[in-house]
């Protein structure tokens, strides 16, 4: 990633990883990522909700293989972003101490 673009992201306050998205063994296989996503969907560990992610679902429906059996990766931006997130989930952290914190609603002057 060019330094200028990286600096723009940092200036916008975005946190960035120091390395590219990869599995724990440092591979970046599209095939392995898609198979893991499919396995997680079958086991109810990866959920995509209709009505909120229609572009993702459309990309998933259009995924196909060429004559040689390779995945055709065209118009797959949403699925690729999801695959990168899944590959890097080991770096995810939850704020467990905030989980049961009461929701603070903004005061809009409505009674």
pLDDT for 55 equals: 92
Lowest mean pLDDT among 30-39, 45-54, 86-95: 86-95
DSSP string, 2-43: -HHHHHHHHHTT----SS----TTS---HHHHHHHHHHHHHT
pTM for the model: 0.73
pLDDT digits (tens, 9 = 90+) for 36-71: 999 999 999 999 988 889 999 999 999 899 999 999
CA distance 45 to 88: 16
Please give the CATH number for the structural domain made up of 12-90.
3.30.420.280
């Amino acid at each position: 990633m060019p330094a200028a673009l990286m600096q723009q992201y940092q200036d916008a306050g975005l946190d960035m990883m120091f390395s590219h998205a990869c599995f724990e063994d440092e591979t970046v296989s599209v095939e392995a990522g898609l198979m893991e996503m499919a396995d997680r969907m079958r086991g109810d560990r990866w959920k995509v909700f209709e009505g909120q992610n229609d572009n993702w679902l459309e990309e998933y429906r259009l995924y196909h293989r060429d004559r040689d059996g390779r995945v055709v990766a065209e118009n797959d931006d949403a699925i690729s972003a999801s695959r990168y997130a899944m590959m890097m989930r080991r770096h995810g952290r939850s704020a467990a101490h905030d989980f049961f914190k009461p929701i603070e609603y903004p005061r809009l002057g409505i009674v």
